[in-house]
Amino acid sequence: MQRRATSYAAPGRNSYPAAAVQSRQPAAASSHEQILDQKIGDVTGDGVPDLVYLTGKKQADSPYIQQITLHVTDGQTRQTTAVALPQNSGYHPTLQLTDVTGNRIQDILIVIDSGGSGAFIFSYVYSYLNNRPQALFDSDAYNQHHKYNVTYLDGFRVRAVSHQPQASYIIDLTYKGRDYLSEIYTSSGKLKQPIQGDVNALSGLYPIDFDRDGQSELMALQRITGRYNADGLGYFMNVLKWNRDRFDVSQQWVWISGANG
10-residue mean pLDDT series, the chain (261 residues): 37 36 46 88 97 93 94 96 96 97 98 86 97 96 96 98 96 94 97 98 97 97 96 97 95 87 62
pLDDT of residue 116: 73
Q: Which helix (H) or strand (E) holds 183?
A: helix 178-184
Give me the pLDDT at residue 4, please. 40
Name the residue among 33, 41, 27 with its Cα closest to residue 108.
41
- What's the order of all strands across the beta sheet hosting 157-163? 148-153, 157-163, 166-172
CA-to-CA separations, 155 to 2, 25, 152, 173, 227, in angstroms, rounded: 22, 61, 9, 9, 17
CB 90 within 8 A of CB 112: yes
* Whether the Cβ atoms of residue 134 and residue 21 lie closer than 8 Å to each other: yes
φ, ψ at 143 (rounded to 5°)? -60, -35
What's the confidence (pLDDT) of residue 30?
54
Instruction: Please write the tens of the pLDDT for every residue from 25-51.
Output: 444 455 578 999 999 999 999 999 999
Residue 31 has a pLDDT of: 52
Nearest-angstrom CA–CA distance, 235 and 129: 34
List the 65-73 sheet strands across, edge first. Answer: 23-24, 80-84, 65-73, 50-58, 33-41
**248 SS3 class:** strand
